[in-house]
Amino acid sequence: MYNLPSMRVLQIQGNMFRGDIPADIGRRFPSIRYVLEYANLASNSLEADDSKGWEFVTSLSNCSQLLQLSMYSNRLTGQLPDSIGDLSATLQFLRFDQNGISGSIPAAISNLANLNVLSVADTSISGVTPESIGKLANLVKLGLFNTDLSGGIPPSFGNLSKLTILDAYRANLEGSIPATIGTMKNLISLDLSYNRLNGSIPIDIFKLPVISMYINLSHNSLSGTLSSRVGTFANLNNLVLSGNQLSGEIPDSIGDCAVLQGLWLDHNSFEGNIPQSLNKLKGLSTLNLSLNKLYDAIPDAIGAIHNLGQLNLAYNNLSGTIPTSLQNLILLSGLDLYLTKFSITGNNELCGGLPQLHLHPCQTSSIKKNRKWHLKHYIILALATTGALVFLAFIFQFIKKKSRGNHSPILSPVIEEQYERISYHVLVNGTNGFSEANLLGKGSFGAVYKCTFADDETIAAVKVFNLQQPGSTRTFVTECEAMRRVRHRCLVKIITCCSSINHQGQEFKALIFEFMSNGSLNDWLHPKSDMLTPRNTLSLEQRLNIATDIMDALDYLHYHFQPPIAHCDLKPSNILLAEDMSARVGDFGISQILPESANKILQNSNSTTGIRGSIGYVAPEYGEGSAVSTTGDVYSLGILLLEMFTGRSPTDDMFRDTLDLHKYAECGLSERVLDIADSTLWLHLESTDSIARSRIKDCLVSVFRLAISCSKQHPKEQTPMRDAVVEMHAIRDSYHIFSC
């Protein structure tokens, strides 16, 4: 490596290198001092301590073009040397986090005037945070979290006008929050939680113009009231003030935080009423007001927040009945987009509501009027007859209640099985602002994007609904309801959902699915490339496996799930292929959950809402006004099978007048079966002798017969799904035995 003539990038991240870093790394390379720009030695086991090992920093000061130095996640201990301030003035990126470094941050670090990113987080760095950091005018991200710093937040931080992210949670900071923090005009994320900060929240903090991700000041000792200026946070997603000593009323202006998704004010001393203005927060998904001194009734306003997923009002002084609007929200908890975690424990004056809430009945005025009279006679009667039994019963009930614990009431078993919802901001980041580069496809109700989550590089598919399209909201609800209930290896797995407000203050709904790396079946049946090869087409065996997977999924939906589900839109673009080319049925946007007795044609006209499905695949009976049923899926399956094995779409130009795909296959079934089969099948065959062709023909004849039977226009003439799936398994297994 010492003989490399002009090394600009030194990238050895994520290996198993151990020991000291060469002390002369910046001097002995022939040209490194003039050309090295990136040095990434992170995630190894490199060592240094106060006695030796830090000499490499001094050596790297000779590299006049250095832009990045990444040393995080190693075994560096001891104190950062003052020579760190002698590194190149061009340096933009400096990370020493996730090491055992101790001692103070060198004041000379302020010499690195072009620094954009500085992190010493997750270390044992101690001492007072140097004021000189405020001289780093180009700093964009500063990480000080999980350290042993002391003293307060330097007022000079207000000079960091380009800073967007300040992470200083669990940093042992104390004192008050400086007013100068309000001058950080580009700050989008501020986390000062779990410190020892005191005093009031400075009014200047409400001047932050673009703060959007979150403000987290939780678990400090902040006191005073929450200013009405909080309403100026028009773009803020999350406000976390839990675990402080804040008091006074929650200001009505909180309702002006138009895109707020999470509000945590718990473990404080707020008093007064819960603001009615909360109903303006249409995107709010989490509201925690527990362990305060709030009183009077729960406002109807909370029930109007239809995206609310978590609501905690426990341990206040709330009274009265549960609002009907909130009860309706609880009843809708079966969907992922509605209330999943709810607690009102510790509000002894609350009454009525759903039986699941276990509250005592509310007393009517007539009962209250005669309460003393009834109480007197009941006491006399009890003392005269069964006083002892009443006392024992009271003790028994008390013990029984105590044994239940103090957790929140369980509303229904399904609530505990919900998915953890995801924020709009995470989806924006993961799709690069829903860019065209990440667009996987578009449909009538929205678009699907590839999303890469930053925390673990997980890839998912995000279906974003176009809420301007009539019926799209209903489609979102339908798909949530269908997919949260089903569990099968051949059905696309839903990961979570997002029901929120976007940056323009508009409603936003999306579903997040497992990412299928091989795209849709449509992409493989009708490849865009003019050059057809075995790499971009499907073999006969692959088609048989895919067909079997599809039919297994439908068999589950129709017969092994109660109540049955009719998919209603079976077509190649709704069949997705995993890395191993196994198939998953997806897109339940217009599916219908049927009455439990329904596995035939239904005679319930209320379930008919117009033609369901896509042109070419929709069952003919739907066009005649018949009710949705599982037989509609059987017809669509038949057309899909014909398309899979002929390679022709039911909407091809050749199909006009009286000729359709069904008749086309029917005419060629006997003598011309090899002619109507997809010609790309032959690309995958190593042998085309007469025996092989005969076996393939027999297999195709069996498939076409089944497909033609399923796609008959009259449901009574169709092969039932439970028989069709058995037959397809037999066809596939028979061909597999031959091919082996």
Is 463 annotated for ligand binding?
Answer: yes
State which amino acid sits at residue 686: E
Report the distance separating Cα 507 and Cα 258, nearest Å: 11
Residue of 191, 266, 569, 633 with catalytic role = 569
Encoded tokens for 387? 């006083």
Residues counted in the chain: 740
Terminal Cα distance for the chain, rounded:
52
Report the distance separating Cα 262 and Cα 356, nearest Å: 26
Report the distance separating Cα 599 and Cα 622, nearest Å: 16
Report the distance separating Cα 234 and Cα 211, nearest Å: 9
Contact 429, 442 (CB under 8 A): no
> For residue 563, is the peptide bond before it cis, meaning its omega torsion is within 30 degrees of 0?
yes
Helix, strand or coil, per DSSP, at residue 379: helix
- Which residues lie below 8 Å from residue 329, measured CB to CB, with a gap of 6+? 302, 303, 305, 306, 308, 338, 339
Q: What are the C-alpha distances in Å from 409 to residues 149, 329, 359, 421, 486?
A: 42, 15, 10, 21, 26
Report the distance separating Cα 344 and Cα 313, nearest Å: 5
Residue in this structure with the two tokens 């009183």, named with its chain if needed: 295
DSSP code for 338: S
Sign of the CA dihedral 401, 402, 404, 407? Answer: positive
Q: What are the C-alpha distances in Å from 189 to residues 51, 91, 114, 163, 166?
A: 38, 24, 21, 9, 6
What b/e readout covers 662-677, taking b as 16+ CB neighbours within 10 angstroms? bebbbebbeeebeebb
Q: Is 569 tagged catalytic?
A: yes
Strands (E), 532-650: 565-566, 575-577, 583-585, 592-593
Catalytic residues: 569
Known binding residues for ATP = 463
Known binding residues = 463
